[in-house]
Amino acid sequence: MAVFVLDKQKRPLMPCSEKRARLLLGRGRARIHRMAPFTIRLVDRQAEDSAMQPVRLKLDPGSKTTGMALVRESETVDVGTGEVRRSSVVLMLLEVQHRGHAICDALTQRHAFRRRRRGNLRYRPARFDNRVKPEGWLALSLQHRVDTTMAWVERLRRWVPIMGLGQELVRFDTQALQNPEISGIEYRQGTLFGYEVREYLLEKWGRKCVYCDVEHTPLTIDHIHPKGLGGSDRVSNLALACLPCNQRKNAQDVREFLAHDPERLERIEKQCKASLKDAAAVNSTRWALYGRLKATSLTVEVGSGGRTKWNRSRLGIPKAHCLDAACVGHVDAVVRWRQPVLDIKATGRGSYQRTRLTRHGFPRGYLTRAKSAFGFQTGDMVRAVVTTGKKMGVYLGRVAIRASGSFNIQSSTGLVQGIHHRFCALIQRADGYGYSWTKIAYTQGDAGTGAACAAALSLPRMNPGVSRAN
């Protein structure tokens, strides 16, 4: 895990290790610039006096989570064959959790409130007829995914000397997923359609057998309702099963096979009808994100989803959004990927709505007009040193303000109420994100799991491809 480093002019330098950061801080050569992600600022060095290495930020865009990987790249040329081998040393792994679903729910609720007020209370003329959507318009929940990803790209550029970008430019063909029998020379998909079905089923069913929940084993494609009994090849009729379960089920209908387990049967029937809205969200935002990345004037390397999966399976790396990002594009080796992941959750900066509403949309209470009190704002990270009273001690966490000056602090040990503002010292302002560290769970069998699952799914492979654009 790397620590970001800035020079005395707040320009980015190469990240350093935790041990070196502690030494620099202990010797007075650096100051803490930011707590999350942890960043230090040197007081005796400028960027001109430091050596830079090629650092690339790789992205794996997703509907709910976008994986990011900061890697230091190096290339070696084989003297005998002239082959160029590229290896990536992982500096930091990040995962950004979007709040697009929360935005969609809030807009749906607002729409219902407004519709009730228009239809049941008093008439107001429609206003949508005189509005024109600009070219490239995206729904707010989709635009949020692009804006949040670009916001973190710009942030990381301020803290790390990034010289290139990488993006997985994947496309899910939702029309072919819903109707595999579509005409037109296999919809001109070739081997891409087979890859999409495999990857979609692995994601949909959680990479485990739907009948016994076994993981890390070769999986096969099973027809929930057998073709001999009228079942089709639609993706909604396909599931993943281990070889023993597939053989026991044979040509039975799923209702007959799971007659003794009605709970599992209900869960499978509900899951097989899951919508494709997450795949549609990725399709809608991928080119918008790519255009924004190209506008940064950095070199953008684009890799296909097949290339990412091939790299990950070949290198024995487990499935994770951030590790998929590390495997984007042309890479022959990935080093130091076994490290904690910085989880970044988009929480927003509060609400413009200062009114609490009833279930019918009428006001029932009002929030304070000002979002800050005594120099603090809800969500700020503070350190409170209480010297008197029943709550003596040191508390570190995020604060919830009150106009009375008696704050609440959410620390790692729980909620502490009634801390006076004079005991609080600001550590970091609220920036609309929550931070936490997690570890990736991996096993010794990860090296063969991906290849075994792909081999067991008897569908054609996609040839991996990679392109580069300036």
Please, are residues 435 and 38 in contact by the beta-carbon 8 Å criterion? no
Residue 396's φ and ψ, nearest 5 degrees, are -130, 125
- What is the arithmetic mean of pLDDT over 139-157? 95
Side chain identity at residue 360, one-letter code: H
The answer to whether residues 325 and 307 touch, using CB atoms and an 8 Å cutoff, is no
Range of lowest pLDDT (3-12, 166-175, 180-189, 430-439): 180-189
Each residue's pLDDT tens digit, 274-331: 666 777 788 889 889 999 999 999 999 998 888 888 899 899 999 899 999 999 988 9
- Of 184-188, 226-230, 441-445, the range with the highest mean pLDDT is 226-230
User: For residues 405 and 455, is the Cβ–Cβ distance under 8 A?
Assistant: no
Q: CA 76 to CA 241: how far, in whole Å?
A: 42
Map out the domains of the chain as residue ranges: 1-52, 174-275, 371-430
Residues 241 and 254 sit within 8 Å (Cβ to Cβ):
no
pLDDT of residue 152: 97
Q: How far is CA 279 from CA 16, 59, 89, 371, in A?
A: 38, 17, 30, 37
Q: What is the pLDDT of residue 215?
A: 87
Counting Cα atoms < 13 Å in the Cβ hemisphere of 383 gives 4
Angle between helices 100-116 and 140-159 (to 10 degrees): 140
- Mean pLDDT along residues 351-368: 82
What is the reported pTM?
A: 0.76
Q: What is the pLDDT of residue 113?
A: 79
Does the domain formed by 174-275 have CATH 1.10.30?
Answer: yes
* 3-class DSSP state of 406: strand
Contact 228, 237 (CB under 8 A): no
> How much is the pLDDT for 148?
96
CATH node for 371-430: 2.30.30
Give the DSSP letter of residue 118: I
Residue 75 pLDDT grade (very low, low, confident, very high; cuts 50, 70, 90): confident
